[in-house]
Structure 1
Amino acid sequence: MEEFRYTYARLCKDNHVEPQECVLSYLKRLSVLFIQGNNIRGSGVEAVGKMLRHNHTIASVCLEWNAFGMLDNSFAMFCDGVGSNDALQALDLRNNQISHDGAVELAAALKRNHTLRALDLRWNSVGLLGGRAILEMLKTNKTICRLELAGNNIPGDILKSIDLALSQNEDRALLNDDHKSKLTVMAKHMKQIEHDKKLEISELMDTIDKQEDLMRRSKRSTTTKVDQLQNALEERKATFNSLAAKLAMTESELALTEQKVNDGNMLIAKLKQELTIKVSEHQEEIRRDHEERAKLEAKLYKELSEAHDKNIQLETKVEDLDRKCRMQQEQIFELKEQITHLQAEMKLKGSHFDDRIQQEKSRHRDEMKEAEQLRHKEVARVRQESEETETTLRERIQRLEMSRLELEEDISRLKNSNMVEKIQHEEQLSLAKQKIQADEENRYRQMEEKLRVSMTLKDEVQSRCNQQSSTISELQSKVSSLVLELENAKKRVEEANEQLAEKNSISLSEVGKVRIELNQTVNKLEAERKLQTELREKLGDSDRKMSEQLLRHREILEEKETEIESLKRRLKAREAEVNNIREEEMQRAQVLQMAVMNYVGKVPQSVDK
């Protein structure tokens, strides 16, 4: 055909005409060639052989009523081209004067050809030797299904053996076509399954992306909450700093009052009893505060230790749940592997049985004419049983896959919910721990500062009392000396009374100022007590919240444990079903094997009979 296309192009070029693309494309894809009745011989036969060697599109060639077999050398080249062609399916060589040598060459070439299916050699001179060569060729060539040999002086027994070989080739071709059709159907089914799996994978990826988005949002919300808590802590620190500044101011004011007290030692002597009473009351209050603080610290430490133990127990339970989920995932993967192994074993057994049946058919074709009806019935029954078993197994495998997918979805949902709840609980616990630690540190600092202030106040009051006692002793000595001088100073008393009245008014004003300052300090102490009561209430609320959260965690963990137990039961039921299916499959495979072995044993017995 390349030569024809080349000659067509050369003629168009000589005549100054553009070659038509449709003609060139037709010459490229030509599949049928008729060259009958042209008396082709010699070089023409060689040209046709070269064309067949290099052509890959022609499927049918009709060469009847020519003289291809006149020259052995040219016909040998033609046979070589036929043997090396990989597209030819039908060849017509009727009435071409082919001798037994040409038939031998053609048979040798057809041993290399695996595409030719129909060959017509009627009305030639093949003879006995050519018939034997063709019969030997059919032992190796399994693709030729139709061979016409009328009018070739071939003996009847050789023709019968050739017909038997052709019938075997026909059966083999039918089986190959059936196998190819089944392969195409299975390939389509596998493509559909791959497409479905890709869709499922895409859906899983979408769900994973959504979960990642939710996790990011939750992280953002937690970061905002942490920032808010940090701002609140900074505000509290600022308030504590302001309180410290106020305490410094009060200390400076106390220093000023000390200076005033040193100036009014005479007035403090009169107020000594009141101060001693107030100091004793203040000491008792401080002692009570110390006791209450010690009790609160012990209680808080106990609650913290209990909360820590409970958190450890919850973490151990969560780890056990994760371990159980991993074990379930491993069991699911083992089930998947077992299902794949079962499918592979079924496919291997099916292919093995098909190969055995084909071998038995090809081996005993000559001996099965008498028992052909029985064989057809047995093959039909075996095929029906195999098809029924295949359908039942496919349905059960589909059911198992559906149940496996459902279990995987349940496990993934439970795992995701467990992970989310675990993260939330861990975040809540960490936040609660941080809050409790910060509150405890702040309270501890406040209590330490208050204790330090109270101790400093106590030391200052004691120093003042010592100073006052020393001044009192000095004053008593002075009074004793003055008592002696009073008699001599009665005249001066009247003058001093006026001065004392003026000093009394001044001292009364100063005493009022001191009382106002003491009232202010008492109010501050009451405000601090209120703060302590509020902090105690907050601690009680936090304890209640912690207990409620722990109860919720316990309930959630109990629910998860019940769900895990139900899933274990389902898995055990599925495993029992899988084991039953395996046993049934093994029994059916044994039954099929026994049937095939019985059938194979009966066939040679019937042939021997």
Structure 2
Amino acid sequence: MEEFRRTYLRLCKEAGTEPQESLVAQLHETRSAASSVRLDLTGQSLTVESCCVLGRALQKDNLFTELVLSDCMLSEEGAKLLLSGLCSNTMVKVLDLKGNNLRGAGAEALGKLLVRNKALQRLVLEWNALGMWEDGFSIFCEGLASNSSLIQLDLRNNQINHQGAAELALALKRNSVLQHLDLRWNNMGLLGSRSLLDALQQNRTLLQLEMAGNNVPSDILKAIAQSVDHNADRTSTLRESRTRAQVLTKEIQILKEEKGRQMLGLMETIDKQRDEMGRSSRNSSIQLGQLQEALSERKSAVNSLTAKLQMTEAALTLSEQKVSNLGELLTKVKLEKTELMDRQSRDMKKQLEESVQREGKLLKEVNSLSEKNLQLKNKLEESERRCKVQQDQMFSVKQELTNSTAELKLRLAQAEERLDMEKRRSKQALEDMDSLRQKEVDHVNRHLEESERALQDRILKLEGQRLQLEEPPPPPMQEVSRVKAAMVTERAQADEDLGRVRAQVRLEEQERLSGLEEKLRGARQARDEAQGRCTQQKQTISDLQARATQHTIEMDSLRRRIDEMQQDLVGKEQEKLAEVTRVRVELQEQIGHLQAERTAQSGLKEKVAALEREMKALVSSHRDTLLDKESELSSLQERVRLREGEIQRMREDEAQRASFLHNAILTYVQGSPLTHYSPKK
């Protein structure tokens, strides 16, 4: 506020004019009233220089939002300068120019202000004379038509006639922002009110129009009130529809976000399952490589054992040739040893063949499991694609359904509004025609009664005169004949007047009756047109209802299709569960077979231990007979011990490899991706 005061004083100094003391005092009072955003200069008689300086100060002012200049007795030049300064102001929302006697130049300045200013929302012009100058008021109306910010306009007591009302009606047809217009206590009359009523047929934003004190008929006032009420209802319905549209858009956005989150979760689970399947495939490939390496190692060990066996057999044949002369007992021991070695070699060959067969079976089972795993992957991807396609179809169907329901509701509401409006118009027209016909009939009856009453009075007067003339003593014959002749002429003239008046009354009554009949025919025609419109509206409503039923049928079919797709998904999930359980049972059976083979291997180990004990017993029983051959037998025993150590190592290696194979199969079964792909409930 202090800054505005300083700006005012500085501009006065630059312009070389003395600041107005009353204006400076008012600015000082406004400054003391805290941080006010209202500049009230009511009753200040502003000079032209003060108006010029105030206009320049208000050009770039960012403080005041309300400017009150009521009863300031502004001159035409001062008002023009002040309003030209307000053209570039962007803060003033309310401007009060009440009681300033603004005329043509002021109206032109106001029109320019409305064209250039984009921030003014309320303008008070009460007790001015804008309507006296038609050119200036037409410029003001042009500015009002092009304005896009003014909401309230007060034009009370501005001497606006029917021509100004016509200009104002043209402006209202083009304006789409103004909501409140006060035109009380002007002189618009019937023609001006009709032009405003025609303008309201195109203007859809005016919510309040005051027309009291303008010599306007009551029926036109009612029609204006009805159109304004219709605009208010329309704006309220528009606000409700906008709020509903906002709520629907928010719900759609929430649904989209939820769908996005669900899709992201689904994609994350799919990625996790793919990672787990990749890890399981890598683990299975690693395990297969390990099994192949173990198989190659076992083959190399078997080859080395066969070579060693061949070497030992050759050494034994040489030793048998050398010790052939040792005797029968030694030959028996050798035969038994060779038999035991043959048995062991056969057992080893059988075990190797069985192990090779088992490894082949395991490899086949691993290949079959990998193929089943790939088939299950393909089935899972196909089901996911179908699920995604079905979700997209459901989303599109829901969107079409919402769009169709919204469109049907909007059309139904518009049809109902049009039907109600046509009904009200037809009812109002019929009531107006009935009231007008009744008034004209009453007027004709009153006129006939008055004319008959006047004629009866005249006849009574003539009869009284005749009686008066007949009562006195008979005058001379000439005077009596003259009076009688006068009476006859007067009576004939009265009869002619009475006939002429009756004929004139009959003609007027016939003309009025013909006019009323024409109006009645027009009203009936309007009623027929309204009924035709009603039937058309009913037909459109029935069509919309049929379309709505068709849409509901389509929705039901789509819902049934979705239910069928969900049932198919449930059946596929059940098939997948059955396949997984079958694979688990097969794996458990394979594990049982492996455990049985392990028990058989333990039995073979026990048999080997029993044979070793028998060999030790035989060696101890024949130790006395072989004392003389200890030097030769020691070497043989050392070879046998070496052979037994090698066999023991081979057994331990076989047991260790079997345990490795068993552990590998167990880890493969436990880490199989089939356990991770159980269907989520």
Could you state the TM-score of these two structures normalised by the residue count of structure 2?
A: 0.49
1:367 to 426, 430, 448: 426
| Distance in structure 2 (CA, Å) of the matches to 1:278 and 1:340 | 91
* 8 Å CA contact 1:168, 1:365 repeated in 2: no
Aligned to 2:360: 301
Q: 2:232 aligns with which of 166, 173, 176?
A: 173
Structure 1: which 5+ runs fail to align?
A: 1-5, 373-389, 391-396, 437-503, 568-609
Relative CO higher for 1 or 2, CA cutoff 8 Å, sep ≥ 6? 1
Report Cα offsets for 1:269-316 as digits up to 9, x if no partner: 759957677556545543454345335434543454456446545654
| Equivalent position to 1:119, from 172, 181, 199 | 181
Give the Cα–Cα distance (whole angstroms) in 1 for the partners of residues 371 and 296 of structure 2.
32
Is 2:198 the counterpart of 1:136?
A: yes
- How far apart, in 1, do the equivalents of 2:266 and 2:362 lie? 42
Map residues 121-520 of structure 1 onto 2, 5 A cutoff.
121-154=183-216, 156=217, 160-161=219-220, 163-188=222-247, 190-191=249-250, 194-195=253-254, 198=257, 201=260, 278=337, 282-283=341-342, 285-298=344-357, 300-302=359-361, 304-305=363-364, 308-309=367-368, 312-313=371-372, 315-316=374-375, 319-320=378-379, 323-324=382-383, 326-369=385-428, 509-520=631-642
CA distance in 2, matches of 1:223, 1:543: 15
Check the 8 A contact 1:122/1:150 in 2, yes or no. Answer: yes
Aligned residue type for 1:43: A
Distance 1:556 1:67 in 2: 90
- The residue matched to 1:119 in structure 2 has which SS? strand
CA–CA distance in structure 1, aligned partners of residues 167 and 137 of structure 2: 8
- Could you say which residue in structure 2 is the equivalent of 1:522? 644
Q: What is the match of residue 106 of structure 2?
A: 44
**Contact 1:139–1:165 (CA<8 Å) still a contact in 2?**
no
Counterpart amino acid of residue 140 in structure 1 = Q
Q: Is the 8 A contact 1:93 1:121 kept in 2?
A: yes
**SS of match in other structure, 1:38:** coil
Distance across 1 between alignment mates of 2:280 and 2:376? 27
Moved more, 540-549 or 139-148: 540-549
Residue in 2 that maps onto 1:95: 157
Q: Provide Cα deviations, 1:133-168, integer angstroms capped at 9, x if missing partner.
A: 3233222223334434445455x3xx6245314412
Query: Which residue number corresponds to residue 68 of structure 2?
Result: none
SS of equivalent to 2:103 = coil
Q: Deviations over 1:426-453 (max 9, x none)?
A: 9xx9xx99xx9xxxxxxxxxxxxxxxxx
Tell me, yes or no, if the aligned pair for 1:144 and 1:166 is still in contact at 8 Å.
no
Counterpart of 2:147, as a letter, is N
The secondary structure found in structure 2 opposite 1:301 is: helix
Q: Percent identity at matched positions?
A: 23
Larger Rg: 2
1:226 & 1:207 partners in 2: Cα distance? 28
Residue among 4, 11, 14 paired with 1:14? 11
* SS of equivalent to 1:147: strand
Query: RMSD value over aligned CA atoms?
Result: 6.2
Question: In the comparison of the two structures, how many residue pairs are matched?
Answer: 450
Distance 2:140 2:354 in 1: 116
Tell me the residue number matched to 1:582.
none
**SS of 2:426's equivalent?**
coil
* Alpha-carbon distance in 1 for matches of 2:279, 2:376: 28
Aligned: 1:108 with 2:167? no
1:84 equivalent in structure 2: 146
Separation in 2 of the partners of 1:222 and 1:310? 11
The question of whether the paired residues in 2 share the 8 Å contact of 1:46 and 1:75 is answered with yes
Distance 1:547 1:93, change over 3 A: closer
SS at match of 2:181: strand
Q: Deviations over 1:318-337 (max 9, x none)?
A: 64455445445544443343
Q: How much does 1:236 deviate?
A: 11
Measure, in 2, the Cα distance between the counterparts of 1:218 and 1:308. 15
Contact 1:76-1:102 at 8 Å conserved across structures: yes
TM-score (ref. length: structure 1): 0.54
Task: Tell me, in whole angstroms, the C-alpha distance in 2 between the residues paired with 1:300 and 1:242.
Answer: 16
What per-residue deviation string (whole Å, max 9, x for no partner) do you get for residues 547-598 of structure 1? 9999x96x999x85xx9xxx9xxxxxxxxxxxxxxxxxxxxxxxxxxxxxxx
Indicate the residue corresponding to 1:461 in structure 2.
Answer: none
Q: 1:124 to 1:535 in 2, by over 3 A?
A: closer
Q: In 1, Cα distance between the equivalents of 2:373 and 2:211?
A: 91
User: Which secondary structure state, in structure 1, belongs to the residue aligned with residue 201 of structure 2?
Assistant: helix
**2:156 aligned partner, one-letter code:** R
Taking a change above 3 Å as real, the CA distance of residues 53 and 7 of structure 1, as seen in their structure-2 partners, is farther
What secondary structure is seen at the aligned counterpart in 1 of 2:353?
helix
- 1:107-144 deviations in Å (ceiling 9; x for gaps): 22221112223333344343454344323322222333
Match of 2:57 in 1: none
| Letter in structure 2 aligned against 1:520 | L
Instruction: Give the deviation of 1:76 after TM superposition.
Output: 1.5
Structure 2 CA distance for partners of 1:39 and 1:50, relative to 1, 3 Å: same
Aligned partner of residue 352 in structure 2, secondary structure: helix
Partners of 2:282 and 2:347 in 1: how far apart?
42
Matched, 1:74 2:136: yes
Q: Secondary structure at the residue paired with 1:91?
A: strand
Q: 1:314 to 1:169 in 2, by over 3 A?
A: same
Inter-partner Cα distance in structure 1 for 2:307 and 2:187: 135
CA distance in 1, matches of 2:284, 2:361: 28
Q: Give, in whole Å, the separation in 2 of the partners of 1:371 and 1:129.
A: 23
| Cα distance change on mapping 1:371 and 1:218 into 2, 3 Å | farther
Q: What is the identity, as a one-letter code, of the residue corresponding to 1:515?
A: Q
Contact 2:121 2:151 survives alignment (8 Å) = yes
For 1:158-211, what per-residue CA distance to the aligned partner results, in whole angstroms no more than 9, with x for missing partners? x62453144123123223213303422541464366357647856875897699
8 A Cα contact 1:117 1:146, kept in partner: yes
Secondary structure of residue in 1 paired with 2:123 = strand
Does the CA contact (< 8 Å) of 1:51 and 1:81 recur in 2? Answer: yes
Structure 1 stretch displaced more, 270-279 or 62-71: 270-279
Structure 2: distance between partners of 1:217 and 1:311: 14
Partner SS, residue 143 of structure 1 = coil
Q: Deviations over 1:479-513 (max 9, x none)?
A: xxxxxxxxxxxxxxxxxxxxxxxxx9998525422
**1:31–1:57 contact (8 Å) kept in structure 2:** yes
